[in-house]
Amino acid sequence: MAAEGRAPTAGEYIVHHLTHLQNHKPSGPFDMTVLNYDSLFYSILLGVLGCFLLWKAARKATSGVPGRFQAAVEILVEMVDSQAKGIVHNAQSRKLVAPLALVVFVWIFLMNAMDLLPVDFLPVVGELMGVHYQRVVPTADLSITMGLSAGVLLVCLVYNVKIKGLGGWVHELFSAPFGAHPALWIPNFLMQMIEFVAKTVSHGMRLFGNMYAGELIFLLIALMGGAWASVGVGTGIGLAIGHIIAGSVWAIFHLIIITLQAFVFMMLTLVYIGQAHDAH
């Protein structure tokens, strides 16, 4: 991370913490051959953990007075189900869409919550195991959030074909939103493509931007705590106290952010799938 025998500068510290464990360095701004092993590992691990928690709650569900864990999961399930009923009006589709939305919420919440861990904890553990670069917040990786939004797009395309039929959907691509006149086919098609791309990009970018900013602020707060050793006693004590206060306040505020971002991503997933059921 820094030259041997020298502590890293603030810039080196941040760059090191924002560097992924990759199979190779990207050759350009858009290199699809690059794999971020850390993001893949933690996203898969947390996805399995989320599914296990939901399975455990369903397995231990009782008709009597529920425990705290079961009650919390039931409240979450009822919330997601009510949102799905209000947006996706096809009861048959909700059999898949509602559980999908529930998994999306839990999975993204768990990935976001990794930001609440001390910024140096897992990277230091990784250093001891010979892993010199590691980012532990999968949703602060654009490739992960765009992959999630691309998955939602794929589900929307499937439901467009399933609900409207292939011919009906193709007709809609060329006849909406301006009308079915042949002179409007190309503008209609271009508008439809722009809409699909814009929804997918904004869906992934919104989550990525919020989580990346949160990760960066935690790094800056960590630098505040580490700077106390290199300054005078009075200033150092002030920085240490400021580090504790700022870290606590931001962690509490960030807990709201990670929950809200998971909820927003889930709601937009429901909205986009619901739009796939609507005919223009």
Whether residue 222 contacts residue 119, with contact meaning beta carbons closer than 8 Å, is answered with yes
Concerning whether 210 is annotated as a catalytic residue, the answer is yes
- What are the angstrom distances between the C-alpha of 159 and each of 77, 80, 88, 278? 23, 19, 11, 10
Looking up tokens 């739009």 gives 275
Residues 51-71 have a mean pLDDT of: 85
Whether residue 10 contacts residue 1, with contact meaning beta carbons closer than 8 Å, is answered with no
User: What mean pLDDT value characterizes the chain?
Assistant: 89
How many Cβ atoms from other residues are within 10 Å of residue 53's Cβ? Answer: 14
Measured between alpha carbons, how far is 96 from 104 in angstroms, rounded to an integer? 12
Residues 97-101 have a mean pLDDT of: 94
Measured between alpha carbons, how far is 64 from 59 in angstroms, rounded to an integer? 14
Whether residue 111 contacts residue 38, with contact meaning beta carbons closer than 8 Å, is answered with no
Residue 274 has which token pair?
């619901």
pLDDT band at 229 (very low <50, low <70, confident <90, very high): low
Q: What is the DSSP letter of 139?
A: G
- What are the angstrom distances between the C-alpha of 264 and each of 64, 169, 175? 33, 27, 31
Concerning whether 160 is annotated as a catalytic residue, the answer is no
Measured between alpha carbons, how far is 83 from 100 in angstroms, rounded to an integer? 12
Instruction: Report the range of poorest mean pLDDT among 12-21, 144-153, 236-245.
Output: 236-245
Residues 195-224 have a mean pLDDT of: 92
pLDDT of 235 strictly over 80: no
139, with CB counted inside 10 A (0-12, 13-18, 19+), is buried
Q: Can the peptide bond before residue 99 be classed as cis, meaning omega within 30 degrees of 0?
A: no
Measured between alpha carbons, how far is 140 from 215 in angstroms, rounded to an integer? 7
Measured between alpha carbons, how far is 51 from 57 in angstroms, rounded to an integer? 10
Looking up tokens 């996706």 gives 88
End-to-end CA distance of the chain: 56
pLDDT in tens, 241-265: 877 888 889 889 999 999 999 999 9
Backbone region of residue 66 per phi and psi (left: phi > 0; alpha: psi in -120 to 50; beta: other values)? beta
> How large a percentage of the chain has pLDDT more than 70?
92
Concerning whether 93 is annotated as a catalytic residue, the answer is no
Catalytic one of 82, 202, 230, 248: 202
pLDDT of 86 strictly over 70: yes
pLDDT in tens, 4-53: 556 678 888 889 889 999 988 888 777 788 999 999 999 999 999 999 99
pLDDT of 1 strictly over 70: no
Report the SS3 class of residue 36.
strand
Catalytic one of 39, 93, 160, 210: 210
